[in-house]
Amino acid sequence: MGLTDLMSMAKPNMDARENFLSKLSSREFVNCFQCLKCTSGCTALKLLELKPHEIVKLVNLGFVDELASSDIIWTCVTCLKCVQRCPQKASPYHIIMVLRNMAVEKEAQIPEEYLKTVSRILETGLAEAPQEVTTRKMEVFDRKSLNLPKITFPRESFQVAFMKIMEEK
Amino acid sequence: MPRIGVYVCHCGLNIAGVVDVEKVTEYAEKLQDVIVAKHYVYMCSETGQRMVKEDIKAHNLDRIVIATCSPRMHEETFRRTVAEAGLNPYLLEIVNLREHVSWVHSEEPEKATEKAKDLVKMGVARVKLLQPLEKRRVSVEKNVLVVGGGIAGIQASLDLADAGFRVYLVEKAPSIGGRMAQLDKTFPTLDCSACILTPKMVDAARHPNIILLTNSEVTNVSGFVGNYEVSIVKKPRYVDEEKCVGCELCTQVCPVKVPDKFNEGLSQTHAISIYSPYAVPKIAIINPNHCLRLKYDKDVCGKCLEACEAKAINFEQQPEEFRLKVGAIILAVGAEIFDASKMPELRYKQCKNVVSNIEFERILNASGPTKGEIINPQNGAVPKTLVFVQCVGSRDKRFHEHCCRVGCMTTLKQAILVRERLGENVKIYVCFNDMRAFGKGYDEFYRRARELDIDFVAGLPSDIRSAPEGSLYFDVYDKGTNKLLEIKPDLIVLASGMVPNTDLEKLSALFHVSRSNDGFLLEAHPKLRPLESLTAGIFIAGSCQGPKDIPDTVAQASGAAAKVIDLLAKDVIELEPLTAVIDKNLCSGCQICEPICPFLAIETKTEIVEGTEKAKAKVIEAMCQGCGLCVSACPTKAIKMQHYTDEQFLAQVKACCSERR
Amino acid sequence: MKLAVFWGCRILTSQYAYEMSVREVFKKLNVELVDLSEANCCGDPIKSVKDSAANYLANRVLAIANATGLDGLLVPCNRCHFTISEAKDVMSKDKNLNKKIESLLKEEGLAYNSHIKIWHVIDFLHNFVGLDSIKKTAQKPLNGLRLATHVGCQIIRYSDLGRVDDAENPRKLDELVEALGAKTVDYAEKLDCCGAALMYGHPNSALSLAGAKIKALQNLGVDGLVISCPDCGLMFDFRQKDAAATVGAKTSLPVIYYTQLLGLALNIEMEKLGLHLNQSPVEQLLMKIST
């Protein structure tokens, strides 16, 4: 859902903010003084209207639920420019990642591909399935025909361990 | 048997809000040799002090313990109190219940009270062993050293000289004037900087009480308040100061071009030149790093030699060293401008049309590289769109956390000047984060800028880019409109902040003055002693203490001068008696202590003991600062620090470790 | 010299040219690469789902690498390099997480080792092998080529973590290209992101980010774009046509991995470097090298 719609009737929820804070390793973001460097340089701003400065401020004011339900947090390209250039070390990227985790927790709608990836990793250890590559001359190659080593799947214990940490509260 | 009085201060609720002062008092009362124990809401108040004085007389007390705030706050106050009651002021012990207890243990009041009791017990143990001491009285030198010839140093020197003191004004550059000399106009009144500064520069040079030492640096400092001894090295100019008339004939013939420092490298001068159009003294100087003759061969070039009618050129000139005795020192060495090339994303030094505010100041100035014409450095065209970017290097944890305090006002001034000189044809943007206009007339000045159609964009760009043909462009998000603005400026001025001088580290070691976290010099107290360093007799003025504009700098300089006058007006000053003393019988003459003393206060003398010559260390009392290094270094324990003896400390440790009654 | 190597997912499943060229070039430089015994996602996509699980996956890589007994691990993918570096940093700071992950790894019969040095291809070649020895080993100088570089985001940001090159003025890849005799160009979009991370949720936007950059480079008239990250390879090479279409352009910009370029200079056969697998018109570039 769009953030504007979510925010229209929203009220701050400080418990949600506390929950958010417990998941973030650093509290530096409270130092944000809205200089807007992050948004001025945001890779996802022009195309998808991601405004990191707005997210930082909304989190601080307690609008965590609204952000976690919104689709805006899924527009970050993870280019890390905002982390690098923030004069107050507020790290909008890390905030967005925590919000994404919270979205998953509350079973908000998230891009399907992320959940598919979880299953793929569980099955094969890898986030992607091996592909065949068609060359410019229309020849088809795969790892085998390229004489590349076979992919070895993770040991059996991996699935249990991965499930354990995925399902942990 | 000693008769001790113990007084526990509430400090309002500062201490009493955490520590149970009544319990601490009750506890103190039961300690051995304590005759009186009382608590009161403000011990430092008139009533509190009177209570101590009356008790001393009524109960015949001979030692006092006051459990209160840090001794740095009120030890002097209470020493005066006990002295007024006829006790030796050094028979007083301060126990710190505020900084050491209540402020740091506010979460645990019960444990805090227990700690307070322990500290009081330790204080009582020590006070019993204190010895009466007398202050040292020393005469003072009536001369003053002022380091740095910017507006701060000039103002302080003039004030002191007018008050009748002899001032040595030492400046590293070939001319006094400092940063202010580089400025075009000053905010918020737009007076011409040179017009108000140059008369003061000339006054300083002509004043019979001021001895100007330009192109000079302080190399050594020893001594103590009232009696400093400093060495100054005057670097060679290779031009005879007595003979040079400042005609600049030499400059005109010099074939070597050198970036002009006064113009921030935006133009070139020559290997022999006069520092600036308003240089004081107006004497040429040869840059030894560039002059062909000084750099390569004694016989090359020599064009200046031929051109100089006054025969002032002297390639044989050597550095001169002076040793001076001064009673006080004012440090006024100024600040530097942040080097924006540390932020490559802003393209400073990569694109010629991105300049710093100090460089733009030179561009605006009639004596600058463009003769005051506002043109961009790349192709000399008049800019159609000009952008100021604020907070460069300042308020930024990656570089400097402090606010530069002048960036906003400098930008407003420069933007107004651009509008006034280029008219309506130029678009001016200021990209900012908080516009700080806090001084007298400053916010009115901000309004004036808005009236002149300067566009204020509430947001900072993340980076600045340049197209292949060199044109600049960048995106900036504006808080007010919620829009991303795409700006294509011809010229970008970066509001580069004031940062500590790179040689401040060296300087702080040389003068024994501390620096604060931001790297600037540390004042003795941020509110109550802003003009003094923590070293007695050394004062600070201007932006070496923190970024400052001209009004604040001048105010601080005059203030520091007044402080010096206050100090040197007396013929004799009193010094703390906290010095090291050496027991001759124990001294083995090993000389370990001598090189360890940072104040050169120990000398070794030979004495005849039982017919044989023996080396013995001796403390030069006037120079000893009581740091205690020699005490801990002495292998035979022959050195004792007065008022801080081993016995006194051990008594405290013992008291601390003993069971509480 | 022996190095463990962790390829990540993207390289193993589609960016074969990068894998082949790294293997060939390192062999030629006398560096033996030891593959890890099992495949493992670095955790990057899981960061958006469950951070602790992502940290587990990333640190599991270091545990598997530990089993090789080697003290250096080559991670040629930018994203894996960042994820593992950050997870290692988190492990050193967050004691609870550290305990949890170490015990999970123990259950799997693995042991965590925080002392393994993590290399990327770029810093290994630049800092360890060195520009001089690359210059010396190169038999076929690439003089006359005018190339642009794209280092990618995640090996240069964020500086506080300690990255492969300077965040604002990365020069190592450029210097490595220059060591082969080619010229590099500076361009305004140099540090712009390829957009790969948006492919999950917003593929069109992702492609238009890549498209804008390719279009700018095409206009600059460079002979090719040199990259060192499989995500960037996917966007600029594999998906170049689609990317260009989103910005209304038709481009034919050769995109080549640095290791492929280095392989050419080391006189390694093109097939072995996987040059037939690039989807962008690398033959334009190859022709300029052979003439």
In the numeric block, which tokens belong to residue C82?
A: 């960042």
- The minimal CB distance from A81 to the residues B460, B462, B478 is found for B462
Q: Is the dihedral of CA B624, B627, B628, B630 positive or negative?
A: negative
Of C123, C152, C109, give the one whose Cα is nearest residue C15.
C152
Q: Return d(Cα C54, Cα B122) in angstroms, integer.
A: 55
Residue ranges of alpha helices (H) inside B349-403 are 357-364
End residue of a domain, out of C119, C147, C181: C119
In which residue are the tokens 């107006």 written?
Answer: B282
Interface touch A53/B477, C-beta < 8 Å:
yes
Residue B660: band (very low, low, confident or very high) from pLDDT cuts 50, 70, 90: low
Chains A & B: contacts with CB separation below 8 Å: 58
The strand ranges marked E within B235-382 are 257-259, 268-270, 272-273, 285-286, 320-326, 328-331, 335-337, 354-356
Secondary structure in 3-state letters for chain A: CCHHHHHCCCCCCHHHHHHHHHHCCCCHHHHCCCCCHHHHCCCCHHHHCCCHHHHHHHHHHCCHHHHHHCCHHHHCCCCCHHHHHCCCCCCHHHHHHHHHHHHHHCCCCCCHHHHHHHHHHHHHCCCCCCCCEECCCCCEECCCCCCCCCCCCCCCHHHHHHHHHHHCC
Last residue of a domain, one of A53, A73, A105: A105
CB contact, 8 Å: A88 with chain B? Answer: yes
Output Rg (C-alpha) for chain A, integer angstroms.
20
Residue C199: its chain A contacts at CB < 8 A? Answer: 113
Q: Can you tell me the distance from the alpha carbon of A47 to that of C207, in angstroms, rounded to the nearest whole number?
A: 11
pLDDT higher than threshold 60 for residue B68: yes
Q: Is the pLDDT of residue A96 over 60?
A: yes
In the numeric block, which tokens belong to residue B67? 């459990």
Put simply, the chain A residues between 41 and 60 with a CB less than 8 A from any chain B CB are: 41-42, 45-46, 51, 53
| Closest approach of C13 to chain A, Cα-based (Å) | 4
- Written as one letter, the residue type at C270 is M
- Which residue(s) pair with C41 in the sheet? none
CATH number for the domain that contains residue B532: 3.50.50.60
Co-location of C49 and C176 in the same domain: no
Chain B residue with CA closest to C185: the answer is B468
Q: Which residue does chain A place closest to B396, by CA atoms?
A: A87
For B34, B128, B135, the CA distances from B84, given in Å and listed in that order, are 21, 20, 15
Q: Which residues of A touch C241 (CB under 8 A)?
A: none
Residue A88 is nearest to which of B345, B397, B478, comparing CB atoms?
A: B397
Do residues C88 and C173 both lie within one domain? no
User: Any bridge partners for residue C3, and if so which?
Assistant: C33
> Is the domain of C184 the same as that of C276?
yes
∠ Cα C182 C188 C189 (to 5°): 90
Please say if the pLDDT value at position B425 is more than 70.
yes
Contacts of C165 in chain B (CB under 8 A): none
Residues B355 and B490 in one domain: yes
How far is the C-alpha of B631 from the C-alpha of C238, rounded, in Å? 75
pLDDT-derived band at C162 (thresholds 50, 70, 90) equals very high
A69-89 pLDDT, tens per residue? Answer: 999 999 999 999 999 999 999
Residues B300 and B349 in one domain: no
- Asked if the C-beta of B488 comes within 8 angstroms of chain C's C-beta atoms, the answer is no
- From the CB of residue C1, how many other CB atoms can be counted at a distance below 10 Å? 13
Q: Which of C60, C90, C119 is a domain's end point?
A: C119
Q: Domain check: are A98 and A156 in the same one? A: no
Q: Are residues B593 and B558 in the same domain?
A: no
Q: Does A111 sit within 8 Å of C38, measured CB to CB?
A: no
Is residue B257 in some structural domain? Answer: yes
The answer to whether residue B660 sits within a structural domain is no
Task: Indicate if B347 and B489 belong to the same structural domain.
Answer: yes
Half-sphere exposure of B308 (CA within 13 A, CB side): 24
The pLDDT value given to residue B298: 80
Q: Which tens digits make up the pLDDT trace of A50-74?
A: 999 999 999 999 999 999 999 999 9
pLDDT digits over B245-299, tens only? 999 999 999 999 999 999 999 999 999 999 999 999 999 999 999 999 999 878 8
Q: Which residue of chain A comes nearest to B482, CA vs CA?
A: A51
Q: If you search the block for the tokens 């795409």, which residue do you land on? A: B486
Residue B127 sits in the same domain as residue B14:
yes
**Among candidates A40, A46, A51 on the partner chain, residue whose Cβ is nearest the Cβ of B476:** A40
Domain that holds residue A160: 112-167
When CB atoms are compared, the residue of A76, A121, A130 closest to C41 is: A121
CATH number of the domain at B590, please: 3.30.70.20
Instruction: Using a pLDDT cut of 70, give the percent of chain B over it.
Output: 100
Same domain, yes or no: A47 and A20: yes
The C-alpha atoms of residue C120 and residue C215 are separated, in whole angstroms, by 28
**CA distances in angstroms from B240 to B149, B245, B318, listed in the order given:** 21, 10, 11
Residue spans of alpha helices (H) in B236-302? 249-253, 292-295
How far apart are the two ends of chain B, measured CA to CA in Å? 21
b/e sequence B158-180, b meaning 16+ C-beta within 10 Å: bbbbebebbbbbbbbbbbbbbbb
- Are both C72 and C135 inside the same structural domain? no
The CATH number linked to A46 is 1.10.1060.10
Q: Decide if A27 contacts A35 (C-beta within 8 A).
A: no
Check C168 against B467: CB less than 8 A apart.
no
Q: Which domain holds residue C241?
A: 130-290
Give partners of A (≥3 CB pairs < 8 A).
Answer: B, C
Looking at the fold, whether A82 and A137 belong to one and the same domain comes out as no
Is C124 within a domain?
no
pLDDT higher than 90, residue B623: no
What phi and psi values does residue B427 have, to the nearest 5 degrees?
-95, 130
Residues B198 and B275 occupy one common structural domain: no
- Is the domain of B213 the same as that of B323? yes
Inter-chain touch B345–C187, beta carbons under 8 Å: no
Q: Which residue in chain A is spatially nearest to B477 when comparing CA positions?
A: A40
Other chains touching B, judged by 3 or more CB pairs under 8 Å: A, C
Residue C125 lies in a domain: no
Segment B229-242 mean pLDDT: 97
Q: In chain A, which residues have their Cβ closer than 8 Å to the Cβ of C20?
A: 146, 148
**Within this chain, do residues A81 and A12 fall inside the same structural domain, yes or no?**
yes
B380 has a chain C CB within 8 A of its CB: no
Average pLDDT over residues B66-70: 97
- Regarding whether C262 and C147 lie in a shared domain, the answer is yes
Q: Is the pLDDT of residue B509 over 70?
A: yes
Q: Where are any strands of DSSP class E within B154-265?
A: 166-170, 185-186, 191-192, 210-213, 216-224, 227-234, 257-259
The CATH number covering residue C226 comes to 3.40.50.11810
In sequence order, the 6+-apart residues with CB closer than 8 A to the CB of B2 are B33, B62, B63, B127, B128
Cross-strand bridge partners of residue C183? C146
The secondary structure of residue B275, as a DSSP letter, is S
Select the residue of B344, B466, B468 nearest C168 (Cβ to Cβ). B344
What would you report as the CA-atom Rg of chain C, rounded to the nearest whole angstrom? 19
| C108 plus C201 within the same structural domain | no
Answer for the pair B258, B269: CB distance below 8 angstroms, yes or no.
yes
Residue B507 resides in a domain: yes
In this predicted complex, what is the ipTM? 0.96
- Residue B652 counted as domain residue: no
**Sequence-distant (≥ 6) Cβ neighbours of residue C153 within 8 angstroms:** A78, A79, A80, A81, C78, C191, C193
Q: What is the pLDDT of residues C132-158, one digit of tens each?
A: 999 999 988 899 999 999 999 999 999
CA distance A115 to chain B (A): 33
Q: Which of B398, B474, B479 sits opposite A34 (nearest CB)?
A: B479
Same domain, A90 and A135: no
Q: Do residue C6 and residue C66 come from a single domain?
A: yes
Q: Is residue B659 part of a domain?
A: no
Range of the domain at B231: 143-235+319-334+501-568
Dihedral (Cα; A108, A112, A118, A120), 10-degree rounding: 160
Residues A71, A22 within the same domain: yes
Same domain, A35 and A14: yes
Are C108 and A25 an interchain contact pair (Cβ–Cβ within 8 Å)?
no
Does residue B659 surpass a pLDDT of 80? no
Domain count, chain C: 2
Q: Which member of C41, C154, C201 has the closest CB to residue A126?
A: C41
Same structural domain for residues A68 and A135? no
Q: Are strands B227-234 and B320-326 parallel, antiparallel or unpaired?
A: antiparallel
- A36 and A101 inside one domain: yes
Q: How far is it, in rounded angstroms, from Cα B143 to Cα B146?
A: 10
Whether the Cβ atoms of residue C273 and residue C265 lie closer than 8 Å to each other: no
Does residue C245 lie in a domain region? Answer: yes
- Inter-chain contact A75–C201, Cβ cutoff 8 Å? yes
CATH assignment of the domain containing B27: 3.40.50
Phi, psi for residue A157 in degrees, rounded to 5: -60, -20
Residue A94, strand partner residues: none
C100 and C153 inside one domain: no
Same domain, A60 and A122: no
Claim to verify: residue C154 and residue C60 sit in the same structural domain: no
Residues of B in contact with C187 (CB under 8 A): 468
Number of domains observed in the structure of chain A: 2
Do C142 and C286 have their domain in common?
A: yes
Residues A121 and A64 in one domain: no
Chain A environment of C206 (Cβ under 8 Å):
77
Q: Are C12 and C115 members of one domain?
A: yes
Q: How many CB pairs under 8 A join B and C?
A: 13
**Mean pLDDT score of chain B:** 95
The CATH number that applies at residue C58 is 1.20.1050.140
- C134 in the same domain as C8: no
Burial class (CB in 10 A: 0-12, 13-18, 19+), C69: exposed
Residues A161 and A126 in one domain: yes
Whether residue C168 and residue B345 make contact (CB cut-off 8 A), yes or no, is: yes
Nearest chain C Cα distance for residue A36, angstroms: 18
Cβ neighbours of residue B158 closer than 8 Å, sequence gap 6 or more: B200, B203, B204, B207, B210
Check CB contact under 8 Å for C187 and B468: yes
Q: Specify if B151 maps to a domain.
A: yes
Burial B190-225 (b: 16+ CB within 10 A, else e): eeebbeebbebbebbbebebbbbbbbbbbeebebbb
Q: Which residues contact A108 (CB under 8 A, 6 or more apart)?
A: A68, A69
Sheet of B328-331: strands edge to edge?
B210-213, B166-170, B143-147, B328-331, B538-540
Nearest-by-Cβ selection for C9 from A126, A149, A158: A126
Cα–Cα distance list, B432 to B370, B459, B495 (Å) = 27, 6, 10
> Which of residues A105, A120, A152 is at a domain's end?
A105
**Number of neighbours of residue B104 by Cβ within 10 angstroms:** 13
Evaluate if residue B661 carries a pLDDT over 60: no
Instruction: Answer whether C205 sits within 8 Å of A75, measured CB to CB.
Output: yes
Residues 6+ apart with CB under 8 A from B607: B584, B613, B614, B615, B616
Tens-place pLDDT, residues C199-240: 999 999 999 999 999 999 999 999 999 999 999 999 999 999
Are C205 and A25 inside 8 Å of each other by CB? no
| Residues paired with residue B324 on neighbouring β-strands, in sequence order | B230
pLDDT tens-digit map of C95-131: 999 999 999 999 999 999 999 999 999 999 999 999 9
Q: Is the pLDDT of residue B434 over 90?
A: yes
Confidence of residue B366 (pLDDT cuts 50, 70, 90): very high
| CB burial of residue C203 (10 Å; 0-12, 13-18, 19+) | middle
